[in-house]
Amino acid sequence: MSTLVLGRNEVSALLAMPDVIRVVEEAFIAWKQGRASMPPKSYLVVERGDFRAMPAAVPGAAGVKWVNVHTQNPAMGLPTVMAVYILSDPDTAYPLALMDATEITAYRTAAAAAVASRYLARRNSRTLGIVGAGKQARYQVLAHAELFQIAEVRAFDCSPAAVDALAAALAGMSVRACSAEEAAASDIVCTLTPSHEPVLKHEWVKAGTHINAVGADAPGKQELDPEILKQALVVVDDIRQAGAAGEINVPVSTGLFRVEDVYADLGELITGARPGRTGDGQITVFDSTGVAIEDVAVARLVYDRARESGRHLTVDLV
């Protein structure tokens, strides 16, 4: 037996958004059925950043993602976030693969938001607003384009170069630079910023809008005016993580929103335990914190694809 080693380029070549959407959805179903598990993330804080260990298991796969946030990295020519995955056979614990998980993280985050949009956005949604046009933005557009007939992407970023880069990466799609207010007036809005202050004002959001609030992933971060949450049907990926570190964490801590006000988690929508959008006038919000079952499901997908392709390095690890 041997262990596959897959670098970022290999992983990137093996991933395709439709597959990722499928396995992310399956992971949530397995979780709601008690066939998947994830203990809480553990945080390791160091002088210049932090690391998170994210273990999880779904049927056929167990593993851990080791991912960091080091905000001073770009000045040294390194990404702020890097991720590595150890994928194990759940039945024997044999390490099946070691792989870069930076691309996995980008894909699964976008896939989960698109799945949320499937249940929460209006079916005929045609405009996609992007607030924060960094790297995650292109994955969000690709994921949503799989599930919706997106006619126009309206992108805002405080750096115009970021919007230009997004448009260049999405050749063939209509990407228009605009203000945050214009982006917010889209059918589906994805907020993808590292903000600690609301970037989306309540008065900008039309009836019928669905918002994927993706940026907030740590205590103190928020992107939405809390008034939006108070008016919206709010769905989370994991209620434990959302209350502590997701979009709702700040309004929960200040008393403007309660954890009990959350309508459902994504797994409940996917399994049909609760309905998603029930009317065209609702405002809906998906609070995405990023969960470990998404990672393990996509890591397993990458492993299967790598074995099929035969293009991979193997080592005698253990």
Q: Say how many residues make up the chain.
A: 318
- Sort residue 310 into left (φ over 0), alpha (ψ -120 to 50) or beta: left
C-alpha 140/C-alpha 79 separation (Å) is 19
Q: What angle do CA 224, 181, 168 make, to 5 degrees?
A: 100
Respond yes or no: is residue 65 known to be catalytic.
yes
Residue 102: closest CA among 138, 60, 135, 58: 135
Q: Examine residue 8 and tell whether it contacts a copy of itself (CB under 8 A).
A: yes
CA distance 117 to 19: 17
Burial class from Cβ neighbours inside 10 Å (0-12, 13-18, 19+) for residue 248 reads: buried
Token reading at 142: 């690709």
| Shortest CB 165 distance to a copy of itself, Å | 20
Q: How far apart are CA 239 and CA 264, in angstroms?
A: 9
- Binder of a copy of itself out of 51, 152, 176, 263 (CB under 8 A): 51
Stretch that binds a copy of itself, among 1-9, 115-123, 179-187, 202-210 (CB under 8 A): 1-9
Q: How far is the CB of 254 from a copy of itself (least distance, A)?
A: 27
Nearer to a copy of itself, 65 or 221 (CB): 65
Residues 80-139 that bind a copy of itself (CB under 8 A): 82-84, 86, 88, 90-95, 98-100, 102
CA distances from 95 to 196, 209, 314 (A): 39, 44, 11
Contact residue for a copy of itself among 44, 151, 207, 273 (CB under 8 A): 44
For the record, the structure tokens of 105 come out as 């993280």
The site for a copy of itself, by CB under 8 A, has a size of 51
> 255 to each of 128, 197, 198, 199, how far by Cα in Å?
31, 16, 16, 20
Q: Which of 16, 170, 218, 317 binds a copy of itself (CB under 8 A)?
A: 317
Nearest distance from C-beta of residue 102 to a copy of itself, angstroms: 6
Site for a copy of itself in 57-76 (CB under 8 A): 57, 62-64, 66, 68, 70, 73, 76
Catalytic residue among 65, 201, 206, 221: 65
Instruction: Establish if 46 lies at the interface with a copy of itself (CB under 8 A).
Output: yes
Give min distance, CB of 137 to a copy of itself, in A. 21
> Which stretch of DSSP H or E encloses residue 249?
helix 249-254
Q: Under the criterion CB under 8 A, does residue 166 sit at the interface with a copy of itself? A: no
Could you list the active site residues? 65
Q: Which residues bind a copy of itself (CB under 8 A)?
A: 5, 7-9, 37-40, 42-49, 51, 53, 55-57, 62-64, 66, 68, 70, 73, 76, 78-79, 82-84, 86, 88, 90-95, 98-100, 102, 313, 315-318
